Chain A
Amino acid sequence: MKNASSRMLDRELKKGSAELLLLSLLEARARHGYEISKLIESESAGVLSFNVASLYPLLYRLEKRGWIHGRWVDKAGQRRRRYYQLTAPGRKVLRAQRSNWKAFVTAISRIAGVRYA
């Protein structure tokens, strides 16, 4: 079971930063949903975790906005999976969100750094 704080983080992420997270993960190459959720879990060392219910609606929303594009890929001996790929508008959005996020994080750490220093 997740604790209350990770649950809260989850909700926060969904609100703002989750989009950035997904777009970033798709920047290098196309990935399928399960792979994305595993990556988030391992890269964040278990701090962040997406499950079915939170991940897919987000993916569909990004797809609907035209930032990512999903297509089914068949591989021998495996079930077919839907791979999501960053689109050109998606790339633009990613650049913009990334710089916003950097500014945001810098601001937060500056304030936080002062407080905990």
Chain B
Amino acid sequence: MPDWREEIRQRLGALDLDPSREAEIIEELSGHAADRYQEHLRRGLTEEDAYQRTLAELSDVQLPASLLQVAMIPKGRFSRRFPFPARILAKYWKLSAVAVLSLAIAIAASVAGLSVFNALLLRLPAAASPSALVTLYESSPADPMQQVSFAEYKFYRDNNQVFSGLAAFDYGISVLSLNYGNRSETAVASTVSESYFQVLGVRPFAGRFLSGDDSVPKAEVVLSYTFWQRLGEDPQMVGKTLQISGREVLVAGIAPKNFLGTVAGFSIDLWAPIRIDQAIGTNRMQGLEDRNSRWLTPIGRLKPGFNRFQAQADVGRLAARMAQDFPKTNKDYSAAVVPASMLPAGQRGLAKMFSWAVMGIVLLVLLAACTNVVNLLLGLATARRQEMLIRAALGATRGKLVRQLLQESILLSSVSGLFGFLLAYAGLQRLFAFRPVILNGLPPLLLDFRPDLRVAALTIAVILAVTLAVGLVPALYASIPNLAGALNGEIAVGGTRKRSARNILVAIQTAVCTLVLVGAGLCWRSLEQLKRVPLGFSARNLVFATLAESKEYTPEQRETLYADTRQEVAALPGVSAVTFATSLPLSQNGPPDRAAPEGQENAKDNWSTVAYSLVEGDYFSILDLPLLAGRAFDSRDSEHSPEVIAINRTLARKYWPDHNPLGKRLRIQNGNRLVQVIAVIGDSKYDDLDEPLTPYMYFALSQHKRDVSGLTLVARTGGDPRLWMEPVRGIIHKLDPSIVCLMETMEGQINLSLLLPRIIFGCVSGFGLLALMLSMAGIYATTSYSVSERKKEIGIRIALGAQPRQVLAALLRQAVLVTSIGLGVGLGLGVAMSALLRSLLYGIHLVELTVLLGVIVLTASIALVTAYLAARPWTRIDPLEAVRHV
């Protein structure tokens, strides 16, 4: 039996039929042919004759044409027609591929941007109905966003009328080493109030959560699900004990799998009650009742029916009451309520700025991609005018045509959207797995930017917007029912209006690309400036180790520990000097103090907030901090001698601009002490590389031995300081295995300070590259389309004797003009942007000539080369051919 289906399909092949309709037609016609064949056989024909006879009946030239008439414009059911756009896009696959790729990359960038935005600003803790959760912070004139002390927390908790529960936790995490059976593990611990889990509405995976009164010391912890897995997934874990610093600590329960805590960037291993420090010694104990020791973040659940603003009023009332009752610690303090998030209140501003910047750039890139695709589709629309006109002639209304073209752009943007989303997901998943270590000894960061449902929903919105943006213009254009225009050859020659529309698009794209590139250039300049900023000290060959004691030490024991550490580290080969300090340049400084010159304490203006460090006498020489006047601390400065201080030059100039500060005295607010200035030290960077000259104070460690713990050891080494990290850690571990030792080199610390500017530069320049690629594609497409439209003109010019060079110049003139306009607009916007960014980026001038020139050269040369490549093939055409084909 011959395969009639194949015969029929071959004859229908030229038609663009709806596939399901086509299948029906094939089935029906081949059935008929089969019947006919059987009939011929019954009449006594041979198989061959019957086959030939049937075939002859099929081979009517009119078949495709007459079928086309009735079946080509199918009935208007949306779903039945959907595959049709797919075939159209497949037909113009090169254009479609460029469009899909542009859009996919831009959508991937938007998804990534949205995810970062979402993760930093919007994502809430994995708690029950998280939208009812708020965090509370206090403001004072000195610091607008502060945490609260334990005493204050208790007051808010017991006296508010708006929260169904108020818990508190510490955004600062601690790293501790613990033993379980014969295992030894390092764990990230978060200190929380006993009501923490109840307020968050989290149910334990096993056991129970913390219980009892926050003020009563209790040696119990709640494990995270992943930490429980790490410890061996013991189903009987609850009720067993861990050893932390040699003390027994009860495992009260295990948190559910999805609960990672309320601190962004870290996956918490265990949660400990506030007073566990009495058992495991995390050095907080002393300050628990001190109203000035503000380290807790209250997180509350609003009672049903109450909103954030009512809560704000209520806590404001409580803060005012405390200011009245405790003027010494709470004067001028007010309280504020904000929606809960994973970021501490003080960091939200920065995160917000970063996220908005990313979103802004992403939108620009998306705009560039859309412009590109509109451009491509306009080209496609031109190519398809003929098809549209035939359809219109066959009876399709304009609405139908627009609908069909919109279906194509829906398909285009959906495919790109899906592709882009997957691309972004894969990328962010990798970032999630990457977990960069920012500080030796600290747990790696958890960069959970993976898109969630909210991001997916927003992505769909983006795709819809993109669809309309890229679909409507070309669709309306392509479907203009201008039969006469087509017959007059308007299509072949190309209208000037449409060409100028397309040129505007390319100019916009070039402007966007220029703007993003200027942004990248500014980030680069700022980064270079930061790298070259004078530190004021020498960072070379310094290794440091912060000794976080997790045990209670008596001052004598501590002194012995430090003395032993110093002796052993100094004995390491290659170590030339060792010193101790409470904080180092560019690392976390402790809370600042307030100071005023002696005799001027009564004027409020003379008090200023100054950060400080407690150091030993050789600290200045080891860090190469210049001693400008006076002497370094030495054996004369003991706990029994009058307290002395070294100040930096900025502070000296501030208080004694015309006098020698040596011998003068400063009043220090904490403890109301008077200290005598014995040295002026050169200025250096203290917190950030981009900070202005900042006042700073150094106290003598030898005069405060009893007050300090968790000192940082600094060693100057005879080569790459990283080589000494392990030996130093070994010594400390040998002296006390319970000490968690955070190690870093000063160069590493500087790199860490450069991390954020580097990330920003990386992001912006990545987007800049993207924008450049997109605008290259745009320029290429526009040039080649506008050139192909002018084929006839080119043919005539060549026929009249124009040289290829002249033709090329004529063709490029347009590209040059469009690029120059885009470049000019982009540069103008770039300068405006520099004005805005000057406060955010270090060392940026309003007009960064290097950056602007670089962007001009880069964009202009790439645009020209692209246009040249697009136009060149057309200068070699055969004039006869060109004219004939119009």
Instruction: Give residues of chain B (26-46) contacting chain A, Cβ–Cβ below 8 Å.
Output: 27-29, 31-36
B67 and A57: CB pair below 8 A?
A: yes
Q: Which residue of B lies closest to A35 (CB)?
A: B35
Query: Nearest Cβ in chain B — how far from A37, in angstroms?
Result: 7
A82 and B63: CB pair below 8 A?
A: no
Query: Nearest Cβ in chain B — how far from A4, in angstroms?
Result: 16
Q: Which residue of A lies closest to B21 (CB)?
A: A60
On chain B, the residues within 8 Å of A81 by CB distance are 28, 31
Query: Nearest Cβ in chain B — how far from A59, in angstroms?
Result: 9
B57 and A57: CB pair below 8 A?
A: no
On chain A, the residues within 8 Å of B24 by CB distance are 82
A101 interface residue, CB < 8 Å from B? Answer: no
Query: Nearest Cβ in chain B — how far from A115, in angstroms?
Result: 34
A64 interface residue, CB < 8 Å from B? Answer: yes
Query: Nearest Cβ in chain B — how far from A47, in angstroms?
Result: 17
Given contacts A53-B60, A53-B62, whether A60 and B32 have CB atoms under 8 Å apart is no
Most chain-A Cβ atoms within 10 A of its Cβ — which of B33, B35, B62, B69? Answer: B35
Q: Determine the distance from Cα of A115 to Cα of B33 in the docked complex, in whole angstroms.
A: 43
Q: Mark B57-93, 1 if CB is under 8 A from A, else 0.
A: 1101011001101110001000000000000000000
A56 and B28: CB pair below 8 A?
A: yes
B28 and A54: CB pair below 8 A?
A: no
Q: Determine the distance from Cα of A75 to Cα of B832 in the docked complex, in whole angstroms.
A: 78
Q: Mark A55-76, 1 if CB is under 8 A from B, else 0.
A: 1110011001000000000000
On chain A, the residues within 8 Å of B63 by CB distance are 52-53, 57
B288 interface residue, CB < 8 Å from A? Answer: no
B625 interface residue, CB < 8 Å from A? Answer: no
B25 interface residue, CB < 8 Å from A? Answer: yes
Q: Determine the distance from Cα of A81 to Cα of B31 in the docked complex, in whole angstroms.
A: 8
On chain B, the residues within 8 Å of A56 by CB distance are 25, 28-29, 32, 67
B69 and A53: CB pair below 8 A?
A: no
Query: Nearest Cβ in chain B — how far from A86, in angstroms?
Result: 18
A79 interface residue, CB < 8 Å from B? Answer: yes
A37 and B32: CB pair below 8 A?
A: yes
Query: Nearest Cβ in chain B — how far from A58, in angstroms?
Result: 8
B32 and A54: CB pair below 8 A?
A: no
List the count of A-B residue pairs having beta carbons below 8 Å apart: 57
Query: Is the contact region of chain B dominated by helix, strand, or loop, or is it mixed?
Result: helix
Q: Which residue of B lies closest to A37 (CB)?
A: B32
A51 interface residue, CB < 8 Å from B? Answer: yes
Q: Determine the distance from Cα of A56 to Cα of B71 in the docked complex, in whole angstroms.
A: 11
Q: Determine the distance from Cα of A33 to Cα of B32 in the docked complex, in whole angstroms.
A: 7
Chain A contact-residue range equals: 10 to 19
Instruction: Give residues of chain A (34-58) contacting chain B, Cβ–Cβ below 8 Å.
Output: 34, 37, 51-57
Q: Determine the distance from Cα of A56 to Cα of B57 in the docked complex, in whole angstroms.
A: 13
Query: Nearest Cβ in chain B — how far from A49, in angstroms?
Result: 9
Q: Determine the distance from Cα of A37 to Cα of B35 in the docked complex, in whole angstroms.
A: 11
A64 and B70: CB pair below 8 A?
A: yes
**A51 contact from B25, B27, B60, Cβ within 8 A:** B60
Q: Determine the distance from Cα of A54 to Cα of B504 in the docked complex, in whole angstroms.
A: 53
Query: Nearest Cβ in chain A — how far from B65, in angstroms?
Result: 9
**A53 contact from B27, B31, B34, B66, Cβ within 8 A:** B66
Query: Nearest Cβ in chain B — how far from A90, in angstroms?
Result: 16
B31 and A60: CB pair below 8 A?
A: no
Given contacts A53-B58, A53-B62, whether A34 and B32 have CB atoms under 8 Å apart is yes
Q: Determine the distance from Cα of A80 to Cα of B62 in the docked complex, in whole angstroms.
A: 26
B70 and A52: CB pair below 8 A?
A: no
Given contacts A34-B36, A54-B62, whether A79 and B69 have CB atoms under 8 Å apart is no
Query: Nearest Cβ in chain B — how far from A55, in angstroms?
Result: 8
**A60 contact from B34, B58, B62, B67, Cβ within 8 A:** B67
Query: Nearest Cβ in chain B — how far from A88, in angstroms?
Result: 19
**B70 contact from A34, A51, A60, Cβ within 8 A:** A60
On chain A, the residues within 8 Å of B31 by CB distance are 33-34, 79, 81-82
Q: Which residue of B lies closest to A34 (CB)?
A: B35
Query: Nearest Cβ in chain A — how far from B37, in angstroms?
Result: 11
Q: Which residue of A lies closest to B38 (CB)?
A: A34
Given contacts A34-B35, A81-B31, whether A52 and B57 have CB atoms under 8 Å apart is yes
A52 and B33: CB pair below 8 A?
A: yes
**A52 contact from B29, B69, B75, Cβ within 8 A:** B29
Q: Which residue of A lies closest to B73 (CB)?
A: A64
On chain B, the residues within 8 Å of A37 by CB distance are 32
**B32 contact from A52, A61, A64, Cβ within 8 A:** A52
**B34 contact from A55, A79, A82, Cβ within 8 A:** A79
Q: Determine the distance from Cα of A54 to Cα of B67 in the docked complex, in whole angstroms.
A: 10
Most chain-B Cβ atoms within 10 A of its Cβ — which of A56, A61, A81? Answer: A56
Q: Determine the distance from Cα of A5 to Cα of B69 in the docked complex, in whole angstroms.
A: 26
Q: Which residue of B lies closest to A60 (CB)?
A: B70
B32 and A57: CB pair below 8 A?
A: no
Q: Determine the distance from Cα of A63 to Cα of B27 in the docked complex, in whole angstroms.
A: 17
B58 and A52: CB pair below 8 A?
A: yes
Q: Determine the distance from Cα of A55 to Cα of B33 in the docked complex, in whole angstroms.
A: 12
Given contacts A57-B69, A60-B71, A61-B70, whether A33 and B62 have CB atoms under 8 Å apart is no
On chain A, the residues within 8 Å of B34 by CB distance are 79
B32 and A53: CB pair below 8 A?
A: no
**A54 contact from B25, B29, B60, Cβ within 8 A:** B60
Q: Determine the distance from Cα of A60 to Cα of B69 in the docked complex, in whole angstroms.
A: 10
On chain B, the residues within 8 Å of A53 by CB distance are 57-58, 60, 62-63, 66
Q: Determine the distance from Cα of A55 to Cα of B25 in the docked complex, in whole angstroms.
A: 12
Q: Determine the distance from Cα of A55 to Cα of B57 in the docked complex, in whole angstroms.
A: 11
On chain A, the residues within 8 Å of B32 by CB distance are 33-34, 37, 52, 55-56
Interface residues in chain B, defined as those with a beta carbon under 8 Å from any beta carbon in chain A = 24-25, 27-29, 31-36, 57-58, 60, 62-63, 66-67, 69-71, 75
Shortest Cβ-Cβ A-B pairs, 9 listed: A53-B60, A57-B66, A53-B63, A51-B57, A34-B35, A60-B70, A61-B70, A34-B32, A82-B28
Query: Can you give 13 A-B contacts (C-beta < 8 A)?
Result: A33-B31, A34-B35, A51-B58, A52-B58, A53-B60, A54-B66, A57-B62, A57-B69, A60-B71, A61-B70, A64-B70, A79-B34, A82-B28
Interface residues in chain A, defined as those with a beta carbon under 8 Å from any beta carbon in chain B = 33-34, 37, 51-57, 60-61, 64, 79-82
6 extra A-B contacts, CB within 8 A, seeds A53-B62, A56-B29, A56-B67 = A34-B32, A34-B36, A52-B63, A56-B32, A57-B70, A80-B27
